């Protein structure tokens, strides 16, 4: 009994790859696979006999990624879409000629980390986790940077505002989704038993989430900490481990 040979994958049309390249390059926001699929379907570029649009889009993106291997820029999946980023090995060279971004204060980074891991959460809940009062200027800084946004109100007396992160947060830190944040067990660090070791501080767990543009945002944490990489740089921020698995 002879087995039926598997069909040979059809080559990806050059026009489809060039369209994907142009769309991602021209967009200020990450380009979703759905948006690219709509463009390719509208142009009727799919090869004859190809019925799975999702698989065709995946093949186009794979061909585009392969095309940019070893280049100074490359397409990367971030915040639910695709965007061009600079190669991480070139970041040290670019910092000498490009203006470094504004540095976020420690209190701002700590607050952002708490919101990221405990969202949606209220201002009072943030203050309980940090152990200090939260200044309005801290929230204003995060709102102005479009890193957090209101997520409704909590159904308790006073109905306080619930805060959560935005798609810009994912894009800024090079995350595809919130599930890419370090897990709870990765946040756990050993507490020194020797009082003499307390003065040395605890090391953060590096989390290389972003690749591309360099970001100068690094703060030291004296408590158990999580490290969020800001487009290639590491920012150490104090945050308590989230509840649950």
Q: Tell me: the pLDDT tens digits for 99-158?
A: 555 678 888 988 998 999 999 999 999 999 998 988 888 999 999 888 999 999 999 888
* Token output for 188: 């756990």
Q: What's the whole-number average pLDDT of the chain?
A: 74
Average pLDDT value for residue range 179-191: 63
Is 142:148 a contact under the CB 8 Å cutoff?
A: yes
Q: Between 242 and 72, name the one with better pLDDT.
A: 72
User: Can you give the pLDDT at residue 196?
Assistant: 44
Q: Between 138 and 237, name the one with better pLDDT.
A: 138
User: Can you give the pLDDT at residue 18?
Assistant: 92
Q: What is 220-241 written as a DSSP string?
A: --SSSEEEEEETTEEEEEE-PP
Please tell me the distance from the alpha carbon of residue 132 to that of residue 238, in angstroms, as a whole number: 13
Q: Between 234 and 141, name the one with better pLDDT.
A: 141
For residue 107, CA distances in Å to 63, 68, 80, 120, 169 come to 43, 39, 28, 19, 17
Average pLDDT value for residue range 174-198: 61
pLDDT at 180 over 60: yes
User: Can you give the pLDDT at residue 120?
Assistant: 93
User: Can you give the pLDDT at residue 22?
Assistant: 92
User: Can you give the pLDDT at residue 174?
Assistant: 79
Q: Between 149 and 233, name the one with better pLDDT.
A: 149
Pick the most confident of 8-12, 49-53, 177-181, 221-225: 177-181
Please tell me the distance from the alpha carbon of residue 71 to that of residue 103, in angstroms, as a whole number: 29
Q: Give residue 184's pLDDT band: very low, low, confident or very high (50, 70, 90).
A: low
Cα 239 versus chain centre, distance: 18
User: Can you give the pLDDT at residue 208?
Assistant: 36
Average pLDDT value for residue range 170-190: 73
Phi, psi (deg, nearest 5) at residue 233:
-95, 160
pLDDT at 229 over 60: no
Q: Give residue 182's pLDDT band: very low, low, confident or very high (50, 70, 90).
A: confident
Is 160:154 a contact under the CB 8 Å cutoff?
A: yes
Pick the most confident of 80-94, 136-150, 172-186, 227-241: 136-150
Q: Is residue 153 helix, strand or coil?
A: strand
User: Can you give the pLDDT at residue 61?
Assistant: 92
């Amino acid at each position: 009994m002879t087995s039926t040979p598997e069909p040979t994958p059809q080559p990806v049309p050059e026009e489809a790859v060039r369209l994907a390249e142009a769309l991602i390059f021209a967009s200020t926001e990450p380009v979703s696979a759905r948006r690219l699929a709509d463009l390719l379907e509208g142009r009727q570029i799919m090869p004859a006999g190809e019925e799975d649009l999702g698989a065709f889009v995946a093949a186009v993106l794979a061909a585009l990624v392969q095309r940019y291997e070893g280049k100074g820029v490359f397409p990367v999946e971030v915040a639910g879409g695709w965007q061009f980023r600079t190669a991480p090995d070139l970041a040290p060279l670019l910092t000498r000629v490009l203006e470094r971004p504004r540095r976020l204060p420690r209190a701002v980074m700590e607050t952002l980390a708490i919101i990221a891991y405990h969202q949606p959460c209220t201002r009072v809940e943030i203050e309980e986790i940090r152990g200090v009062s939260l200044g309005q200027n801290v929230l204003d800084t995060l709102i102005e940077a479009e890193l957090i946004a209101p997520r409704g109100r909590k159904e308790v007396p006073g109905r306080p505002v619930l805060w959560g992160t935005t798609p810009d947060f994912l894009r800024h830190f090079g995350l595809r989704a919130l599930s890419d944040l370090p897990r709870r067990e990765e946040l756990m660090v050993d507490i020194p038993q020797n009082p003499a070791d307390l003065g040395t501080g605890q090391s953060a767990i590096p989390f290389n989430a972003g690749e591309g543009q360099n970001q100068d945002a690094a703060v030291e944490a004296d408590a158990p900490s999580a490290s969020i990489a800001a487009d290639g740089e590491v920012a150490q921020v104090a945050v308590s481990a989230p509840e649950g698995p």
